[in-house]
Amino acid sequence: MWAVVVIYDHPKDSAAFERYYADVHVPLVQRHASEIGFSRAVLEKFAHGLDGARPKFYRKAELWFDSEQALRRGTGTSAFGTVAGDIPKFASGGFTVLVAEEA
């Protein structure tokens, strides 16, 4: 299994981030899911560090694919470009995109 992982830094306005994420971005991903071809999506919001402190990061999103080839096909689609292009519209604190292999 392979994944595209987006790690979001703390936004300037978390309420605005959450509204846009729930009302616009997640539905956008859902509309393009079949064309992108991921087999599973995992969305996480970090509550706190193990010590109870504010976490370094705000959220994480993972789109899982059955193979590296499926990931390459999916990330090469115009649908993926549309989804990825939407991220800067709400991720006001910044973000990092990584590719992960389940190990």
How many helices and strands in the chain, by DSSP H and E? Answer: 4, 4
Single pTM value for the model: 0.93
Look at the block and give the residue holding tokens 């087999």. Answer: 39
Does 2.70.98.40 match the CATH number of domain 2-101? no
> What are the domain boundaries of the chain?
2-101
pLDDT of 4-44, one tens digit each? 999 999 999 999 999 999 999 999 999 999 999 999 999 99
Q: Which of 47, 68, 66 is nearest to 58 (CA)?
A: 47
